Amino acid sequence: MNKNKLRGLAAPLGVGVVAGTMMLTGVPAGAAPTTTTFNNTCLATPSAVAGPQSQTQEASIVIDAPASVNAGEEYEVVVTAPPLSVPNSNSGSSLQSVSRLKVDMEVPQNAEILGTEIVPGTSSGLSGVAPNLLRVNENGAPDANGGILRLSGNNQVIGNSPTSSKSSRGGIVALAQSGTNTTFQLPQVKVRLKAGPSGNVDIKLRSVGDAGAYGNDKNYLTFLPEASLIITAWAPTQCSPRDTATAPLNSGAGPLATTSIVEADKQTTTTISAPGAVKNGDEVTLTANVNPAANGGTVQFAVNGTDIGGPVAVANGAASTTHVFDTDGDHTVTAVYSGTTGFVGSTSAPKTINVSTDDIVTSLAMTAPDKAYVDQDVNLHAQVTPAVQGGTVEFTIDGGDKVTGTVGSDGVAVAPYKFTSTGTHSVVARYSGTDGVAASVAPAFPVSVTNAPAAAVQTTTTLAPVGTVTKGQPVTLTATVDPANANGTVQFMLGNVPLGAPVPVVNGVATLPTTFASAGTFSVTAQFVGSAGFIDSDSQPQTLTVPGDPDTGGGTGSLDGLFGSS
């Protein structure tokens, strides 16, 4: 390997202070290392006679790192320090030492540092403090979470450190040798990393912020030459990757080596969307929903353990087939997703479908609310079991007022109501039934109605119309609470099922991004839960329609796999 001279910068002004730039070169630890060649410009400031001096030299850094690794894989990055040669005399001055050597690199993103190592036996011509690799922060202080990896002699450098000096030996020292030049070599270092889940891991010199400025103690390379003629002179030197003192940073400030992370295949969950009850002889659509939504691979459906038809291609996370049940009783349906590039296969939980030749017997239960305030909007909820679609539920309050809600694909009906007096009110829900499905009546449901706290502010919650939403496509639900300064949260509901967690109200608005992965018609509501000083309120139900292959057979439906994410 060619040795690179540490050229003198000082003019022959009596003291002849020796200062210079370091050209980093490397010896790769393995095959196919990455070499980056760039100009390095340094500023040396002698302590006597000569003024600040600037010098530019070509530099070349070699990094040995793998081109790619798997997500979560552990691997090593190896940097071999350069041999350096320094003239022992310049303009009558005599070199005494080069000390306080420091090389800074950025802590790589998208990876975890597992350990660092100074490789024994790879340095020469050095004395002083044994070289080590520290993790430091922007101020140069040791910090386990710092963003900089520093090769130095225990952080004894010319600046940007609690143990810095520009006028005394310290840290890594290369003492002057006999002969024309003094030659030394920094040690080889290894950094062991663990790749993150995705992205690239770049190996870069420190060059962000002040470290990218010309002649700054935070520059990636700094050191302290010491020379003497009559007196001892010091020339603290800072080097950064640029073509001239006034030029911007060059390619030496970019990635010196890049390791791409090969993402792990995503784990999937497969669920079946199908009616819970069908009539004998009806054609039923069975839909398998793969989450996260994959494009590719196939689903094999089975009834009672026996495959039906051939594998069905998966598109946008869904695959559907039709089947005719010709035997009464409970039948178990499963779906096996094959997986595809980037996605792991999965098997659904069994879905039970009841097949009968008579009208499906249903039961009805009210599920909400159990309490309310006078003159404040609430929603009455009832669930038809098994989950059927079609027909209506009529809610009768104290044998008088009646409100009606349509039964959606999840078997849920929702109707708004406002109680006008305090006390315990009895609500009776009656399901009308539909073709092939018998009517049913729920037991009387008590709702406790009280006056809101006198000092509390009444609120009104309005849910923006949802309308028709494409299956699997993102949509944002928006609820507006009046007055706009109301404090509290909004719980978005799909029938009886919460959509995600409660959302804080900000300036009278709460929003929830979500997707819907099954076709059908449903009721969506927003429930405002007020903080102290504000009264709860419910929005009017909005109808959600998700078009596509019907997820029902004989007018029945299921909530399984309805929403994909929230």
Same domain, 436 and 503: yes
Instruction: Please tell me whether residues 331 and 383 are part of one structural domain.
Output: no
The pLDDT value recorded for residue 18 is 38
Q: Which residues have CB under 8 Å from 501's CB, separation 6+?
A: none
Query: HEC profile for 461-497?
Result: EEECCCEECCCCCCEEEEEEEECCCCCEEEEEEECCE
334 and 462 assigned to the same domain: no
> Does 386 lie in the same domain as 447?
yes
| 124 shares its domain with 244 | yes
Domain boundary among 313, 328, 356: 356
* Band (26; pLDDT cuts 50, 70, 90): very low
In CATH, what number is assigned to the domain containing residue 21? 2.60.40.2270
Residues 445 and 538 in one domain: yes
What whole-number percentage of the chain has pLDDT above 90? 75
Where residue 347 sits, what CATH number does that domain have? 2.60.40.10
Does residue 450 share a domain with residue 350? no
Q: Rounded to an integer, what distance in angstroms lies between the CA atom of residue 312 and that of residue 481? A: 45
pLDDT level of residue 562 (50, 70, 90 thresholds): very low
The sign of the CA dihedral 123, 127, 132, 138 is: negative
Average pLDDT over residues 28-55: 79
The string of pLDDT tens digits covering residues 277-303 is 998 999 999 999 999 998 999 999 999
Nearest Cα residue to 260 out of 195, 204, 206, 205: 195
Same domain, 549 and 407: yes
Residue 117 and residue 59 share a domain: yes
Query: 341-364: per-residue pLDDT in tens?
Result: 889 999 999 999 999 888 889 999
The answer to whether 446 and 426 have CB atoms below 8 angstroms apart is yes
Residues 380 and 277 in one domain: no
My answer on whether 302 and 435 are in the same domain is: no
State the average pLDDT over residues 58-69: 89
pLDDT in tens, 99-117: 999 999 999 999 999 999 9
Report the alpha-carbon distance of residue 252 to residue 20 in Å, rounded. Answer: 18
Whether 334 and 386 map to the same domain: the answer is no
The range of the structural domain enclosing residue 534 comes to: 363-565
Q: What is the pTM of this model?
A: 0.53
* Domain C-terminal end among 322, 356, 390: 356
pLDDT at 49 over 90: no
Choosing from 262, 279, 294, the residue where a domain stops is: 262
Overall domain count for the chain:
3
DSSP state of 167: S
